[in-house]
Amino acid sequence: MNRIYKLFPALAHKAFFYFIIGQTISMLGLWMQRLAMSWLVFRLTGSAFLLGIVEFVSLAPILVLGLMAGAWLERHDLRRALITTQVLCMFEAVLLTVSTFTGIAGYPLLVTLSLGLGIISAFDMTARQSSVSLMVSDQAAVKSAVALNSMAFNISKLVGPSIAGFVIYLWGEGVCFLISSITYVPIICMLLFRVRLRERVASHEKKSMFGDIAEGIRHVQSEFFLNHIFRLLAVFCTFSMCYSVLFPMFSTEILKGGSQTLGWLFGAVGAGAFVGGIVVSVHVRLRHVPTFVVRTTGVTTLALIVFSFSSSLYISLAAAFFIGYGITATNISVNTLCQTTSSDDCRSRVLSLYIMITSGLGPVGGLAFGALADFMGAPHTMLFCAVIIGLAILLFLRHFRAIRHSLSQTLTHLS
């Protein structure tokens, strides 16, 4: 056990230990729900564009409400906010279950429910990310907590879609939604009875909410390394997340499969993401994050290119694995950087901007890529996305020395 604590020191903190258990179970249900929703929409419409709309409204509210959520959460109790968002997510899953079993789950209703989930997620995702560092009592455990939180997310991303593919094949989408609604019970119980957060330290009196939002943006702009990493991350997340919209089309038209094939593809992404989480937790050091980000975004670019040309399930699964690895390793390393270099009174705002980029821009791109795929096909659309990411990496490398120097100065000051 001591060896596990040495490898993942965050697990020695009881609040985080109980949180990560509940989090893993609830995210398992959520990923089952997401795949079931994607398959149901694609089955009803047969259009990647209409599926892109559902993906867009489920996460795009983060772009509108993300910064506001960060400023609001810094004024309110994070634990209570988490309990509220988890209860609302469970209610959303219950509505999906009832509407599917009763046969009233048409496309307009699914879009409406996806929009509701997007609004809840704008607050829930920021609250979860901001609370992780408040569950551990020392700075050394922060990186471990961030990585484990993402690993729990990606274990669910690995297992959930794979289970969902078989559940849909045997019993239909409604059972996936039912399982999802049940999986929120453990995290709600853990938050109510087991998880406590340490008090946040505020270094100054809060301004107006919009004043705090502007200050959070200025903080990111003033840090040279963070400014340029966020710019690369914005392009990367917009174009790399094209896979979530294009996979249903690849699984049916290119790979000649069905819901099971789609489940395997998403499962391969989850497997790569899990490995990415371990690599960041064990090997990556903060000073080396810019170098690591260049490598992981490059891996993702190559994997997207291979996937776009592949008509073999095995090659596609291998490429999907590296897509998951590259996206997750990039996001976790940047997340850790944000958690470590931000103070308590500014962390939620910085993380809300990070979440807007990593979770809000993907659906915007998905909406465009769904329409583009209907016009020019999924392979050419994915290849186009890979080329854009490659160009963004080249632009990032133009300022690489200055970025590393800026990060080194910040870390020296913090130490």
List CB contacts of 391: < 8 A, sequence separation 6 or more.
Answer: none
List CB contacts of 280: < 8 A, sequence separation 6 or more.
Answer: 143, 147, 150, 292, 329, 332, 333, 336
pLDDT in tens, 17-31: 899 889 889 988 888
Structure token pair of residue 211:
């004043």
CA–CA dist 335, 349 (Å, integer): 13
CA–CA dist 351, 21 (Å, integer): 23
CA–CA dist 217, 232 (Å, integer): 16
Name the DSSP class of 195.
Answer: -
CA 82, 235, 339, 292 dihedral sign is positive
Q: Which residue has the tokens 């776009």?
A: 308
According to the model, what pLDDT value does residue 2 have?
A: 61
CA–CA dist 361, 236 (Å, integer): 9
According to the model, what pLDDT value does residue 302 have?
A: 97
Q: How many residues are given for the chain?
A: 415
CA–CA dist 245, 45 (Å, integer): 14
pTM value is: 0.75
**Of 244, 81, 236, 279, the residue nearest 157 (C-alpha):** 244
Taking domain 2-195+207-414, whether its CATH number is 1.20.58.100 is answered by no
**Of 136, 407, 138, 161, the residue nearest 264 (C-alpha):** 161
According to the model, what pLDDT value does residue 210 have?
A: 65
The DSSP code sequence of 111-173 is HHHHHHHHHHHHHHHHHHHHHHTTS-SSTHHHHHHHHHHHHHHHHHHHHHHHHHHHHHHHH-H
Rounded to 5 degrees, what are φ and ψ at 408? Answer: -60, -40
According to the model, what pLDDT value does residue 343 have?
A: 67
Structure token pair of residue 395:
């632009």
According to the model, what pLDDT value does residue 140 have?
A: 62
CA–CA dist 109, 100 (Å, integer): 10
Contact between 338 and 216 under an 8 Å Cβ cutoff? The reply is: no
According to the model, what pLDDT value does residue 293 have?
A: 95
CA–CA dist 190, 204 (Å, integer): 32
Count of H-run helices and E-run strands, the chain: 18, 0
Calculate the CA 248 to chain-centre distance: 19
According to the model, what pLDDT value does residue 292 have?
A: 94
Q: Which amino acid is at 385?
A: C
Query: pLDDT in tens for each of the 415 residues of the chain?
Result: 566 666 677 787 888 889 988 988 998 888 888 889 888 888 888 877 788 788 778 777 877 777 787 778 777 788 899 999 999 999 999 999 999 998 888 899 999 999 998 888 888 888 887 788 778 776 667 767 877 877 777 667 667 877 888 888 888 889 999 999 999 999 999 999 888 887 765 544 555 666 666 766 777 777 889 889 999 999 999 999 888 888 888 888 888 887 778 888 888 887 888 888 788 877 778 888 999 999 999 999 999 999 999 989 999 999 999 999 999 899 888 988 887 777 666 777 787 788 888 877 776 777 788 778 888 888 999 999 999 999 999 999 999 999 999 988 888 877 6
CA–CA dist 200, 56 (Å, integer): 33
CA–CA dist 118, 112 (Å, integer): 10
List CB contacts of 36: < 8 A, sequence separation 6 or more.
Answer: 164, 167, 168, 173, 176, 177, 180
Rounded to 5 degrees, what are φ and ψ at 390? Answer: -60, -40
**Residue 244 half-sphere exposure, CB side, CA atoms within 13 Å?**
33
According to the model, what pLDDT value does residue 4 have?
A: 66
According to the model, what pLDDT value does residue 1 have?
A: 55
According to the model, what pLDDT value does residue 90 have?
A: 94
CA–CA dist 362, 385 (Å, integer): 12
pLDDT in tens, 157-185: 667 877 888 888 888 889 999 999 999 99
Domain coordinates of the chain in residue numbers?
2-195+207-414
